[in-house]
Chains A and B, each alone.
Chain A
């Protein structure tokens, strides 16, 4: 079974803090994704990566950056957290080239106060 894990289920941070959200997958997938999910807005893609050190902006990259130094790990960074970044953050992975399933992690509920 594919496993996508996220470093925290719940996180509370203060405005202006630098925040790291970590995601790890164990199936050697090339593609990894970060989404945020908000009521009424659905899932929105922040960034994705199709290989180590490769990244592309999604629909809402402002205020976020990412890092992928190893194939299994994809980090989302909030350089200076703001209250409007309070959300559920979901990581996902999928095999590259093929048309396989996309697998999601359990999510991190981030609250910025």
Chain B
């Protein structure tokens, strides 16, 4: 059974710092991995999608990498800003079983201090 873990659960950094959020999964048989951002009381906003055949994806100051064999993904945020403060969730879509399902991690709560 696929399990997704995100460490740390919470992170506080000063503005301008580069930071890395981690996501690990137990079963490497995945179709893709998606990173989301969630602001308090709001829905999820899709940030990046990495297919299993890809190593990384970039969007602006965000870069997500995927190492399927080790069951890990990282989300790199460059030059962090207070507006980046949110909860970041990763989710994987696995082979087999209900392939329509995304399995979510429990998230990393990021606070960027001005």
A interface residue numbers (CB < 8 A to B): 4, 31, 33, 42-43, 45, 48, 50, 56, 58, 88, 90, 92, 94, 99-107, 109
B interface residue numbers (CB < 8 A to A): 31-32, 34, 36, 41-46, 49, 51, 89, 91, 93, 98, 100-102, 104-107
Q: Are B43 and A90 in contact, with the CB atoms below 8 A?
A: yes
CB B44 to nearest CB in A, in angstroms, measures 4
Known: A56-B98, A99-B51. A107 touches B107 (CB 8 A): no
Closest to A96 in B: B100
Add 7 more A-B contacts to A42-B104, A101-B49 (CB < 8 A).
Answer: A31-B100, A58-B101, A90-B44, A99-B31, A104-B46, A107-B43, A109-B41
Q: Are B34 and A104 in contact, with the CB atoms below 8 A?
A: no
Q: Which residues of B contact A101 (CB under 8 A)?
A: 34, 46, 49
Residue among B34, B51, B100, B101 having the largest count of chain A Cβ atoms under 10 Å: B100
Interface class of chain A by DSSP: strand
Q: Are B45 and A43 in contact, with the CB atoms below 8 A?
A: no
Bound CA span A39–B100, Å: 24
Q: Which residues of B contact A107 (CB under 8 A)?
A: 41-43
Q: Are B45 and A104 in contact, with the CB atoms below 8 A?
A: yes
Bound CA span A88–B39, Å: 13
19 intermolecular pairs with C-beta atoms under 8 Å apart: A42-B104, A43-B104, A45-B101, A48-B101, A56-B100, A58-B101, A99-B31, A99-B32, A101-B34, A101-B46, A102-B34, A102-B91, A103-B46, A104-B43, A104-B45, A106-B43, A107-B41, A107-B42, A107-B43
